[in-house]
């Protein structure tokens, strides 16, 4: 795409139209993020990234964030160039993934809290009925007289958090070591201990919402925030150390220097259909396949292992991508 394309897209979106070329470009940005391995596996719908997962994430990001929240025009307005659009789009995708992970985590824990409170009437009783589970008051059943005398919580958020911290360390389970804080959960026994401890420490009836809030003060279950595109910091990725990156960048330049003009174009086109590449380059399908093999031979010769080979291919393709934007 070019800067005039960006200006034209901005005008069309303002008129209520979404160009198919813009949608295809945004989809390509998400796909490149996946293929460059800049997103942790914890973000992936099925625990690993592939083209199917990239398509699913693109569809949700575009529908929920860009269209549903009206951020598409903001994305275009704040992009002064083609390269700027790509950078802001990548940042927006990362924030969307963070928000999605936070919402799923919070929703799951809330449901488990409600299930535990409702599923053990011998220990937990309803103090006050409400239309929504989040607003229903529960208390520990008192021996002999139920929980009629339990007062409802009226303290501050700070006092509620203090009760939560008084319960000692929580054993947090993480399903993947690389998931960082995206998937901290408590097993059923630990969650039950926390809920019971909150009733004892607060000496009050509590709602599931209050219990979740107290738990959030311990394992950072904050509601997801929607950051401004201009102010949002870049999210951490699994990029290699700077010294390794410098070496790989230099190696990628050496790879490109050894490729012909046609081989560079084949590499730039990535995983486009072979027939389409051949048609545009006015050569046969067999020629495109052979050019890909020759590119692979050059990269393999300059790579230490398969992981580095994949990284170098991505870096070399990115350099061509940037050159195309700057043209």
pLDDT tens, N- to C-terminus, the chain (327 residues): 677 888 899 889 988 889 999 999 999 999 888 887 777 666 676 656 788 888 888 988 998 889 888 889 888 988 878 778 888 888 888 888 877 665 556 667 787 888 889 888 889 988 876 667 778 899 998 765 554 567 899 989 889 999 999 998 877 654 333 444 334 466 788 889 999 999 999 999 999 989 988 888 887 554 444 444 444 444 444 456 666 777 788 888 889 988 999 999 998 887 678 888 999 899 998 899 899 999 988 888 888 788 788 888 888 887 776 654 444
Q: Are 195 and 263 members of one domain? A: no
Q: For 266-284, what is each residue's pLDDT tens digit?
A: 988 876 788 889 998 999 9
Q: Is residue 81 part of a domain?
A: yes
Q: Give the pLDDT confidence score for residue 166 in this predicted structure.
A: 92
Residues 59 and 110 in one domain: no
Query: Structural domain of residue 277, as residue ranges?
Result: 242-326
What are the pLDDT digits (tens) for 269-324?
876 788 889 998 999 988 998 999 999 888 888 887 887 888 888 888 877 766 54
Give the Cα separation of 12 and 3 in Å (integer).
Answer: 14
Query: Where among 219, 234, 256 does a domain terminate?
Result: 219
pLDDT at residue number 182: 39
pTM: 0.41
Residue with tokens 């409600």: 114
> In this structure, are 157 and 77 located in the same domain?
no
H/E stretch holding 184 reads strand 184-186
- Would you say residue 225 lies in a domain? no
Query: How far is 117 from 110, CA to CA, in rounded Å?
Result: 11
Question: What is the number of domains present in the chain?
Answer: 3
What SS3 state is found at 137? strand
Residue 274 lies in a domain: yes
C-alpha 114: how far from chain center: 27
């Amino acid at each position: 795409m070019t800067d005039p394309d960006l200006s034209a897209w901005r005008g069309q979106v303002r008129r209520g139209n979404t160009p198919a070329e813009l949608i295809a470009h945004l989809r390509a940005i998400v796909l490149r993020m996946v293929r460059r391995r800049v997103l942790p596996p914890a973000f992936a719908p099925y625990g690993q990234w592939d083209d199917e997962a990239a398509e699913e994430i693109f569809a949700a990001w575009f529908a929920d964030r860009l269209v549903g929240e009206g951020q598409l025009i903001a994305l275009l307005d704040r992009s002064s160039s083609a390269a700027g659009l790509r950078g802001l789009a990548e940042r927006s995708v990362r924030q969307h993934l963070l928000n999605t992970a936070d919402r799923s985590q919070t929703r799951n824990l809330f449901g488990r809290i409600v299930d535990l409170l409702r599923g053990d009437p011998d220990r937990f009783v309803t103090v006050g009925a409400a239309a929504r589970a989040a607003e229903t008051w529960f208390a520990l059943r008192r021996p002999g007289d139920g929980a009629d005398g339990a007062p409802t919580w009226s303290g501050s958020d700070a006092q509620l958090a203090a009760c939560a911290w008084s319960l000692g360390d929580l054993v947090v389970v993480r399903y993947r070591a690389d998931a960082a804080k995206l998937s901290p959960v408590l097993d059923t026994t630990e969650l039950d201990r926390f809920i019971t401890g909150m009733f004892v420490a607060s000496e009050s009836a509590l709602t599931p919402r209050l219990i979740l809030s107290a738990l959030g003060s311990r394992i950072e279950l904050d509601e997801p925030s929607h950051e401004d595109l201009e102010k949002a910091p870049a999210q951490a990725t699994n990029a290699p150390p700077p010294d390794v990156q410098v070496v790989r960048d230099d190696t990628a330049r050496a790879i490109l220097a050894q490729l012909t003009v046609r081989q560079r174009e084949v590499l730039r086109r990535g995983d486009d259909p072979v027939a389409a590449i051949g048609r545009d380059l006015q050569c046969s399908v067999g020629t495109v396949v052979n050019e890909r093999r020759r590119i692979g031979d050059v990269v393999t010769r300059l790579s230490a292992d398969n992981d580095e080979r994949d990284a170098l291919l991505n870096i070399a393709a990115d350099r061509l991508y940037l050159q195309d934007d700057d043209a």
